[in-house]
Amino acid sequence: MNTVLVGLQWGDEGKGKVIDILSKNARYIVRYQGGNNAGHTVVVNGASFIFHLLPSGILHKNKVCVIGSGVVVDPAVLLDEIYSIRKRGISVDGRVKISEQAHVIFPYHRILDACRETKRANKIGTTGRGIGPCYADKASRCGIRMGDLLNPRLLKEKLKDNLKEKNEIFKKVYHHPGFKFNELYDIYSAYGRKLKECVCDTVILLNDAIKKNAPVLFEGAQGTFLDIDFGTYPFVTSSNTVSAGACIGTGIAPTKISRVVGVVKAYTTRVGEGPFMTECSKALGEYIRSKGREFGATTGRPRRCGWFDAVLIHHAVMINGVDSMAVMKLDVLDDMESLKICTAYKYKGKTFTCFPNDLEVMQRAKPVYKEFPGWKITTRKIRSYKNLPKQARHYISAIEDICKASVDIVSVGSGRDETLFR
Active-site annotation, residues: 12, 40
Of all residues in the chain, what percent are helix, strand and coil, respectively (each to 5)? Answer: 40, 20, 40
Q: Inter-axis angle of helices 131-139 and 107-119, to 10 degrees?
A: 110
3-state SS, residue 94: coil
Q: How far apart are CA 136 and CA 313, in angstroms?
A: 29
Stated as kind and residue range, the H or E segment containing 210 is helix 202-211
Work out the number of other CB atoms within 10 angstroms of the CB of residue 200: 16
Give first-to-last CA distance, the chain, whole Å. Answer: 19
Task: Return the ∠ at Cα 17 (arms to 80 and 201), rounded to 5°.
Answer: 55
Closest to 306 measured CA to CA, from 352, 362, 357, 367: 367
- Rounded to 10 deg, the angle between the 107-119 and 152-169 helix axes is 20
**Cα–Cα distance between 182 and 179 in angstroms, integer?**
9
Distance CA 379, CA 393 (A): 12
Residues 6+ apart with CB under 8 A from 113: 126, 128, 129, 130, 131, 132, 133
Q: Considering only CA atoms, which of 12, 9, 5, 18 is closest in space to residue 313?
A: 9
Report the amino acid identity of residue 394: H
